[in-house]
Structure 1
Amino acid sequence: MEKAKLLYFYDPLCGWCFGFSPVIKKLEKDFQEQIDFEAISGGMVLGDRIKPLSEMKHYLQEAMPRLEEMTGVQFGKPYLEILEEGSLLLNSELPCIAMTVYKSMTNKSSIDFASALQSALYENGVNLNEIDNYQELVESFDLPWEVFRSKMEDSAYKEKTYQEFQIGQQMGIGGFPSVVLSIGKQGYLIARGYRPESEMKTVIEEILSKETADSK
C-alpha cells in the first residue's frame, strides 16, 4: 500500500480550525510514519466577505464559549481586546499567502505553521493583514525573514495561493475544518467541522487497516 496523504482544509481566520488545531497536530504526531499531512488554505474570507471584526462581534461572542468548551482552546486576552475594539479587517488573503510561501521554503510541517498562524491571531491578537507582523512567527520556524517577506510581496505566490483555494472547491469542500484522507485513488472525507481526536484516530485506523487488507 502506498503511503497515505491527509489533506487538512483550513483557513487562518476560522475559529473552529483554531479549536481543531490541537487535534490535527496530535494526529500528525501519531501517524507521521504512515501518513503525509498537508494543510490546504481555504480562502474563507475574500472579496465581498471581507469586513471589520465589529460586524462579527456578537456572533463570535456567542460562539466562543461553546467553542472553548468543546475544544479546550482558549482565546487570548489580546484577541478579546481587538474583538471589543472591532476595527480589525477580516481578510484571509495575506495569511494564506504566508502558508504558500512557507510551503515553498521548507518541508517541515505545514500543520504546525497553520496552527501558529491561528495562535498569532486568536491568542496574541496579531493583525495578519500587515506583512511585517509575520517576522517573529517566520523566524520562530528558522526561516530567513527577508526572503520570506520578498516572496509574500511577489504576485506569483498570490496566484499560487488562489490556485490552492481551488483544490478545496474542486473537491467539494464546503466548510472548515475539513479533512480528507487519500490513499491511492481513493479519498475519504473524515471530518467536516470539528471532530474530537479520539474519533478521528479510530476512523483513520479503520481506513488504514481496510486499505492494508485490500492491498494484500
Structure 2
Amino acid sequence: MKVKLTYVFDAYCGWCHGFGPAVTGFAAANAGRIELDVVSGGLFTGARVVPIGTMPYVAGANARIAELTGAEFGPGYQALVADGRFRMDSTAAATGFAALRAAAPGRALEAAEAMQHAFYVDGLSLSEPATYRHLAGRLGLDADAVLAGFTDTAATRDFTRAARLGVTAYPALLLHTGTGVVRLGGPTSTAAQLTGALGRHLASVSA
C-alpha cells in the first residue's frame, strides 16, 4: 500500500524553485511506494501583491537559494527584477496550475516545475494566458483545454487545503500518518535526504 504525501508549493516562491528538483528526484526514486499530491499555497495574495521592486530582500534571497540549492535564476527573470514593476500574484498562478493539473492529473509535479522554470528562468508571467499556451505546448497538452480550466475557485480550494494542513511557509512536503501530517525535510534537502527521512518514518511505524 502506498503512503500518501502532499507537496505544498507556490509557483512564485523562490525557495520552492530551489526545492523542486529535489522533490522531483524523490518522487521518481520512490514512485513504487508513494502517492504524491501537489497543492498551491498563497504566498502573494491580497495586499501582498505588490511590485517586485518594493521587495528589497529578493536579490539577496535569490543569491542564497542559488548557493544552497543550485537553482538557476535566468536572464528573463533577472530582467523582471531589474525593472521592478512586475507583480507576483499567487492566486493567478494557482489558477493556472490547477488548470494544468486538471489536464494532466498524473503530471502535477512536472507542471509545477515547468511553471517555475517559465518564471524564474524565462521571466514569463504566470498570470498571462499566453504563458499557459506555452506551457501546454511544452508539456504536450491541449492548450485550449488548459485555458478552459481556469477558475478562481480551484485556487481557493488549494489555498484552503494548504491552510487545513497547517502550512504557513513554503515549500512543505508532508507525509500523512495515522496521527496527522509530518513534514519531510526542508528547502535545502536533497532527494536522497528526503528518501532517508521517509524510510525512517516508515521504519518507526512498522517497528
Short-chain TM bin: over 0.9
Aligned mates of 2:71, 2:186 — CA distance in 1: 19
- The 3-state SS of whatever aligns with 1:90 is coil
Task: Show the counterpart of 1:114.
Answer: 112
Task: Show the counterpart of 2:194.
Answer: 200
Q: What amino acid does structure 2 have at the position aligned with 1:4?
A: V
Task: Show the counterpart of 2:74.
Answer: 76
Task: Show the counterpart of 1:142.
Answer: 140
Aligned mates of 2:180, 2:32 — CA distance in 1: 19
Aligned mates of 1:188, 1:50 — CA distance in 2: 30
Over the aligned positions, Cα root-mean-square deviation in angstroms equals 1.6
Give a deviation string over 1:130-187, Cα, whole Å, max 9, x none.
11221111122221111211222xxxx3112201111111121110001111245643
CA apart distance, 1:209: 2.7
Task: Show the counterpart of 1:52.
Answer: 51
Aligned mates of 1:69, 1:125 — CA distance in 2: 20
Query: Given the alignment of the two structures, is residue 181 of structure 1 paired with residue 175 of structure 2, yes or no?
Result: yes
Aligned mates of 2:89, 2:33 — CA distance in 1: 35
CA apart distance, 1:197: 2.9
Question: Are the aligned partners of 2:97 and 2:112 in contact in 1 as well (CA < 8 Å)?
Answer: yes
CA apart distance, 1:103: 2.2
TM-score, length of structure 2 as denominator length: 0.93
Consecutive unaligned residues in structure 2, runs of 5 or more: none
Task: Show the counterpart of 1:98.
Answer: 96
CA apart distance, 1:195: 2.5
Q: What amino acid does structure 2 have at the position aligned with 1:80?
A: Q
Consecutive unaligned residues in structure 1, runs of 5 or more: none
Question: Are the aligned partners of 1:38 and 1:109 in contact in 2 as well (CA < 8 Å)?
Answer: no
CA apart distance, 1:89: 1.2
Q: Which moved more, 1:23-32 or 1:101-110?
A: 101-110
Query: Given the alignment of the two structures, is residue 172 of structure 1 paired with residue 166 of structure 2, yes or no?
Result: yes
Q: What amino acid does structure 1 have at the position aligned with 2:184?
A: I
- The 3-state SS of whatever aligns with 1:108 is helix
Give a deviation string over 1:72-121, Cα, whole Å, max 9, x none.
11100111111101111111112211121122222322111111111100
- The 3-state SS of whatever aligns with 2:43 is coil
Question: Are the aligned partners of 2:101 and 2:108 in contact in 1 as well (CA < 8 Å)?
Answer: yes
Question: Are the aligned partners of 1:17 and 1:194 in contact in 2 as well (CA < 8 Å)?
Answer: no
TM-score, length of structure 1 as denominator length: 0.90
Question: Are the aligned partners of 1:176 and 1:192 in contact in 2 as well (CA < 8 Å)?
Answer: no
CA apart distance, 1:27: 0.3
Aligned mates of 2:29, 2:171 — CA distance in 1: 19
Q: What amino acid does structure 1 have at the position aligned with 2:159?
A: F
